[in-house]
Chain A
Amino acid sequence: MGKIKKKGTSGNAKNYLSRSQAVRKLQISLPDFRRLCIFKGIYPREPRSKKRVSKSSTPSTTFYYAKDIQYLLHEPLLAKFRDQKALAKKISKALGRNEVGDAARFEKNLAPKLKLDHIIKERYPTFVDALRDLDDALSMLFLFANLPSTQNVPPKMIARCQRLTMEFEHYLIRTHAVRKTFLSIKGIYYQATIQGQDILWLVPYRFVQMAGPDVDFRIMGTFVDFYATLLGFVNFRLYTSIGLVYPPRFDLKSEEQGAELGAFQLEGEQMEAQAEAVGMLDVDAHDKAQAQADRLLEEADPEQIGEPQSSYMTAPETAEQQDTDMDDTLVPADQSQEGTSQTPLAALDEFASIDPKADTLLQPGLTADADVAGKLFEPFTFFLSRETPRHSLEFLVKAFGCKRVGWDNTLGEGAYCNESDTRITHQVVDRPELPLPSPPPTDGEDEGEVVSSKSNVRVPGRTYVQPQWVWDSINAGKLQRADLYAPGATLPPHLSPWVKPKKGQYDPTVPLAEQETALEAEQEAIAAEEGEDDVDEGSSGEEVEGVRGDEEVEALEHSLLSGNAITQGEGMDVALADSDSESELEAEPIEDDEFGGFSSASEVDEEESATTAHQNELLAEARGETIDEPKITKKTRIAAAKSRQTKAEREEAEQKERQKMMMPRRKRKMYEKMVYSNARKDEEAEELREKRRKIEKGKAGRA
Chain B
Amino acid sequence: MAQQRAGQKRKVVEIPLAEQVEDDVLGNGDFDEELAEDEGSDGDEEFDEDEEEDGDEEDSDEEPLSEDGEDVRQQLRDLKTSSSVEIVDPDKDPDTDLATNGTYTPEKRPADLSNYDISVDANGNPRYIYKDIEPNYDTDDSDAPITKNTIGNIPLSYYDAYPHIGYDVNGRCIQRPAKGAALDSLLDSIDIPAGWTGLTDPATGKPLNLSREELEVLKKLSRNETPGDGYDPYPDMVEYFTGKGMEEVMPLSAAPEPKRRFVPSMHEHKRVMKIVKAIKEGRIKPYKEPTAEDLEKEEQEQEYAQYDVWANEVPRPDHAMNMPAPKLPPPGYEESYHPPPEYLPDKHQQEEWEKQDEEDRTRDFLPKDHSALRKVPGYAKFVKEKFERCLDLYLAPRVRRSKLNIDPESLLPKLPDPAELRPFPDHRSVEYVGHKGRVRTIAIDPTGDYLASGGDDGTVRIWELSTGHLKQKVRLSTTDPVNIVAWRPVISPPILAACCADNVHFIVPTDSTSPTAQAEAHTLLTAGFSAAPTIPTKSATGVDKPSPSSWHTPIPAHASQSISLTLSLRSTPKTLTWHRRGTYFATVCPSSGSPSTAIAIHALPTHTSQHPFKRLKGLPQTALFHPSQPKFFLATRQRVRIYDLQAGKLVRELLPGARWISSLSLHPGGNNLLIGSYDRKLLWHDLELAPTPYKTLRYHTRAIRDVAFHPTLQLFADASDDGSVQIFHGKVVEDGFENATIVPLKVLKGHRVRGELGVLGVVWHPREARCVSAGADGVVRMWA
Contact = CB atoms under 8 A, between A and B. Distances in A.
Interface of A: 34, 37-38, 42-46, 62-63, 65, 67, 113, 117, 120-121, 124-127, 129-130, 132-133, 135-136, 139-140, 143, 147, 160, 182-187, 189, 191, 200, 204-205, 207-212, 214-216, 219-220, 223, 228-229, 232-233, 235-237, 240, 246-247, 387-389, 430-431, 466-468, 490-491, 493-496, 498-499, 506, 508, 594-601, 603-604, 655-656, 658-663, 667, 670-671, 674-675, 678, 688-689, 691-692, 695
A312 to B, nearest CB: 29
A133 B325 contact: yes
A38 B377 contact: no
Interface of B: 300, 302-310, 313-316, 321, 323-325, 327-328, 330-333, 335-343, 346, 365, 367-368, 370-374, 376-380, 382-387, 389-391, 393-399, 404, 408, 411-413, 415, 418, 426-428, 699, 723, 742-750, 752
Contact of B373 (A46, A183, A493): A183
A117 B309 contact: yes
Contact of B342 (A388, A604, A674, A688): A688
B376 A185 contact: yes
Given A67-B321, A430-B372, A493-B340, A247 B304 contact: yes
A275 to B, nearest CB: 14
Contacts of A147: 383
A200 B749 CA distance: 59
Contact of A185 (B335, B387, B747): B335
A209 B427 contact: no
Contact of B384 (A189, A212, A498): A212
A198 B310 CA distance: 19
Nearest to A185: B337
Contacts of A211: 383-384, 387
A667 B406 CA distance: 13
Given A43-B325, A132-B324, A236-B308, 17 more contacts: A43-B323, A133-B324, A139-B386, A182-B335, A186-B379, A200-B330, A205-B377, A212-B383, A219-B387, A233-B305, A236-B306, A237-B308, A237-B310, A493-B333, A495-B340, A496-B333, A663-B413
Contact of B379 (A117, A185, A468, A691): A185
B313 A127 contact: yes
B746 A600 contact: yes
8 contacts: A125-B316, A186-B365, A212-B384, A223-B393, A236-B306, A246-B305, A388-B374, A662-B742
Nearest to B334: A496
A499 B380 contact: no
Contacts of B387: 211, 215-216, 219-220
A493 B338 contact: yes
B340 A604 contact: no
A232 B303 contact: yes
Contact of A126 (B310, B327, B385, B412): B310
A215 B309 CA distance: 33
A491 B343 CA distance: 16
A129 to B, nearest CB: 8
B373 A661 contact: no
B339 A671 contact: no
A125 B313 contact: yes
A125 B389 CA distance: 24
Nearest to A468: B373
A44 B397 contact: yes
Contact of A667 (B302, B411, B745): B411
B382 A494 contact: no
Contacts of A598: 428, 748-750
B397 A601 contact: no
**CB-based closest 3 A-B pairs:** A207-B378, A498-B330, A674-B408
Given A44-B396, A662-B742, A595 B750 contact: yes
A186 B336 CA distance: 9
Please indicate which of the listed interface residues B365, B383, B747 has the most CB atoms of chain A within 10 Å of its own CB.
Answer: B383
A120 B370 CA distance: 42
B362 to A, nearest CB: 10
A62 B397 contact: yes
A600 B411 CA distance: 27
Contact of A44 (B302, B341, B368, B398): B398
Please indicate which of the listed interface residues B306, B387, B391, B404 has the most CB atoms of chain A within 10 Å of its own CB.
Answer: B387
Contacts of B308: 233, 236-237, 240
Contacts of A133: 324-325
A144 to B, nearest CB: 9
A214 B384 contact: yes
A204 B321 contact: no
A45 B336 CA distance: 35
Contacts of A601: 427-428, 750
A205 B395 contact: no
B373 A184 contact: no
Given A46-B397, A220-B386, A659 B305 contact: no
Contacts of B396: 43-44
Contacts of A212: 383-384
Contact of B382 (A130, A187, A603, A692): A187
Contacts of B379: 185-187, 204-205
A215 B332 CA distance: 26
Contacts of B325: 43, 133, 136
A607 to B, nearest CB: 11
Given A44-B396, A44-B397, A674 B404 contact: yes
B305 A236 contact: yes
Contact of B397 (A45, A204, A689): A45
Contacts of A45: 321, 397-399
B426 to A, nearest CB: 4
Nearest to A184: B335
Given A246-B305, A674-B411, A140 B331 contact: no
A631 B379 CA distance: 57
Contacts of B343: 508, 688
Please indicate which of the listed interface residues A65, A186, A597, A656 has the most CB atoms of chain B within 10 Å of its own CB.
Answer: A186
B383 A44 contact: no
Contacts of B426: 600
Contacts of A44: 395-398
A660 B413 CA distance: 8
A202 B313 CA distance: 29
Given A44-B395, A185-B376, A491-B338, A659 B303 contact: no
A63 B397 contact: yes
A199 B256 CA distance: 88
Contacts of B742: 662
A430 B373 contact: yes
B749 A596 contact: yes
A143 B408 contact: no
A667 B341 CA distance: 40
A388 B309 contact: no
Nearest to A144: B386
B398 A678 contact: no
Nearest to A665: B698
B331 A210 contact: no
Please indicate which of the listed interface residues A117, A219, A494 has the most CB atoms of chain B within 10 Å of its own CB.
Answer: A494
Given A491-B371, A671-B408, A508 B335 contact: no
Nearest to A50: B397
Contacts of A493: 333, 336, 338-341
A243 to B, nearest CB: 14
Contacts of A43: 323, 325, 393-398
A229 B374 CA distance: 35
A692 B338 CA distance: 15
B757 to A, nearest CB: 16
Contact of A499 (B313, B321, B333, B408): B333
B398 A184 contact: no
Given A130-B310, A182-B331, A658 B744 contact: yes
B384 to A, nearest CB: 6
Given A126-B310, A187-B382, A661-B699, A37 B394 contact: yes
A235 B393 contact: no
B337 A670 contact: no
